[in-house]
Amino acid sequence: MNDKFDRAPGAGRTRGAPADPRLPVNVGGSDAETSLFNQREPLRQPRTVPPFPEITTNATAGLPGGNPRTLDNPLQSGSFSYASVSRGDNNVDSMVRTSTLSASAPEFVPFGMSSYEEPAHYDDSESYYSESSLADTVTDFLGHLSSSPGSFESDVECITSMLNSWVTTEELLKELVELIFTQSTAIPNFSYTGARLCNYLSHHIALSPQSGNFRQLLLQRCRIEYEQRIEAVRGTPEAQKKFHSFVLFLGELYLNLEIRSGKGPPNRADILLSALKELLESLLSHPVDANLICAVKLLKLTGSILDDAWKKSGVPHMEELVRRIETILLDATCSRDVRQMLLKLVELRSSNWGRACMAATASNATPDNDPNYYM
């Protein structure tokens, strides 16, 4: 048997190339084993990156002051060195000192893109924000009343005091009248609230120029629309719709506008009474459906008040209007629905505009005709 044969597992094997045959080998001694293991190939680097390695000089390639060579692979070149951790601060300081970067350098803008513009500087002081105009304030307030008509009593005093401090010229007063008139005639559901507002402002707007106070300027503005009634009832559907809104607003204005004189109770504007008569005649003179519907709405709104005022004056204007409506029912070619509306209106007037009849006097009450006789 060969004397060099070793029965120990792995005996005679080495990691890598065999030892140099020129070196002396002493199998039985410890010196031989030491020299044998010293000839082995060094162990490979670990596959995982050691924690917090320090990159040697090769890692600074390409940086200012560093080696311009390409960065070496740290795993292949063994550039990680735990012994160089203590020199990390010195390397960073040298990089900062030798860097050519500047904080005041112009910004980088990619090709094809415009340079970034700084946003405008906004001043938070009160002088930056421009004051709202009279039109904006009045429009916001009218929109608030349109959406919340129940807040009229609580808000009208505040807005009136604001308007008194704002409306100081004749031009501003005319602008205020125009804004309220436009809103009241453009939105049908706002005509009642607009009429109430006009009545309140007519008594609380302090400015009264030579051209007239608030109420006089309002009536002058209404007269402009009133004088166009003949053309409006025969105009386009849009013109008719605008005119009908004005007619209903004028009816609300007659019911709500008060004229105070002396110590007596306030009176209604008689000029509006005659204007409503002319408007009703103009609507009935061109009996199309839209005009007839507007006439019915106006008479349902103001019929009882107009009838009482004309009876008090001794003029039969309401009887003339009712006869004219009956003629339209016989001759006009209106739609079936409009015809029913006119018939209901005639019945309403014949029942004294729906007002309850006077109750029987106590002397005529009996158990047979009065169910509350024993109460």
Query: What are the CB-based long-range contacts (under 8 Å, 24+) for 347-355?
Result: 348/300, 348/303, 349/299, 349/303, 349/307, 349/318, 349/322, 352/304, 353/303, 353/304, 353/307, 355/304
Q: What pLDDT, on the 0 to 100 scale, is given for residue 80?
A: 45
Contact between 245 and 294 under an 8 Å Cβ cutoff? The reply is no
> Which of 62-71, 86-95, 362-371: highest mean pLDDT?
86-95
- Scored b (16 or more CB within 10 A) or e, 130-143 reads eeeeeeebbeebbe
Lowest-confidence pick of 78-92, 255-269, 333-347: 78-92
194, 225 Cβ separation under 8 angstroms: no
- Read off the DSSP letter of residue 22: T
How confident is the model over 292-351, as pLDDT tens digits?
Answer: 999 999 999 999 999 999 999 999 999 999 999 999 988 878 899 999 999 999 999 999
- Does 71 have pLDDT greater than 50? no
Q: For 65-92, what is the mean pLDDT?
A: 49
Measured distance CA(203)–CA(157) in Å, rounded = 12
Tokens of 190: 């706002």
pTM comes to 0.62
Task: Name the phi and psi angles at 177, rounded to 5.
Answer: -60, -40
Q: CB-based contacts of 306: which residues, under 8 Å, 6+ apart? A: 273, 276, 277, 299, 317, 318
The pLDDT-based confidence of 9 (bands split at 50, 70, 90) is low
Contacts of 51 (CB under 8 A, 6+ apart): none
pLDDT at position 111 over 90: no
pLDDT at residue 252 tops 90: yes
Q: Is the pLDDT of residue 218 over 50?
A: yes
pLDDT of residue 50: 55
- Give the list of residues 6+ apart from residue 113 with CB closer than 8 angstroms, or none: none
* Average pLDDT score over the chain: 76
Residue 150 pLDDT > 80, yes or no?
yes
Nearest alpha carbon to residue 17 among 41, 42, 52: 41
Task: Inform me whether the pLDDT recorded for 27 exceeds 50.
Answer: no
- Higher confidence at residue 82 or residue 279? 279
- Banded model confidence at residue 124, pLDDT cuts 50, 70, 90: very low
* 369 confidence band (pLDDT: 50, 70, 90): low
Q: What is the pLDDT of residue 103?
A: 73
Residue pair 138/156 in contact by the 8 Å Cβ criterion = no
Q: Does the pLDDT of residue 363 top 60, yes or no?
A: no
Sequence-distant (6+) residues with CB within 8 A of 7 are none
**81: amino acid identity, one letter:** S
User: Alpha-carbon distance 358 to 168, whole Å?
Assistant: 52
Q: How far apart are the first and last CA of the chain?
A: 146
Amino acid at 72: D
- 3-class SS shares of the chain: helix, strand, coil, % to 5: 55, 0, 40
Provide the pLDDT confidence category of residue 47 given band limits of 50, 70 and 90.
low
Structure tokens belonging to residue 122: 């906004």
pLDDT reported for residue 28: 47
> How far apart (Å, rounded) are the C-alpha atoms in residues 364 and 134?
63
**Range of lowest pLDDT (86-90, 203-207, 255-259):** 86-90
Q: Higher-confidence residue: 216 or 60?
A: 216
Burial-class residue 219 by CB neighbours within 10 Å (0-12, 13-18, 19+): buried
Distance CA 173, CA 206 (A): 10
pLDDT above 80 for 179: yes
Backbone angles phi, psi at 259, to 5 degrees: -115, 115
